[in-house]
Amino acid sequence: MARLFLIICLFCSICCFSQQENEKIKWQENQPLVWSDFKGKPVALSPFKANTNAGISFSWSYSSKNGVAKLDYVIESFFYPQSSWKKEIIKKDYLLAHEQVHFDIAELHARKFRKAISEYEIGENIKKDLIALYKKFEQQQKAMQQKFDSDTNHSKIEEEELKWREFVQEELKKYKAYID
């Protein structure tokens, strides 16, 4: 009996750990990040006060019935709490807004990707085409994330920070039709 209890406890702890590792928060317009979302362990030697891990997920399926091709897809942007962290912060609201922009940049590229897929005409190389599109938007997202941090010196240049916040919000509005 004790052995069965031990096995059950071990199984439950593995399941909980696996669930925690895979935890993700889907981007939602009226649900901004809060500091309690940042659950990862801070990188001690990092000069930064916080780190946001966000990205785009993509899945799709293709079928053809009576000669009519159908492409189903899901493109989402996520924040990964276990890979995102914070240290002691003085300007908490200001830095949280900076981290939110990182998440918003992921959502912006998810919307751009949805737009591209909605305009995609199914061809012979569907798998290759879709993988190429995903890579294109993932690379663009990463490049914008880096430019954001570079231009703002990781949030230290407040004037640039405010320009970026406004720019990303305007871009999200431009692609509002492609919100998930």
Residues 161, 101: Cα–Cα separation, whole Å: 9
Tens of pLDDT, residue by residue over 53-97, are: 999 999 999 998 888 889 999 999 999 999 999 999 889 999 999
∠ CA 10-81-141, rounded to 5°? 135
Tens of pLDDT, residue by residue over 157-175, are: 999 999 999 999 999 999 9
3-state secondary structure of 115: helix
pLDDT at residue 19 in the model = 43
Q: Is the pLDDT of residue 4 over 70?
A: no
- pTM of the predicted model as reported, rounded to 2 decimal places: 0.86
Q: Is the pLDDT of residue 18 over 90?
A: no
Residue ranges covered by each domain of the chain: 22-178
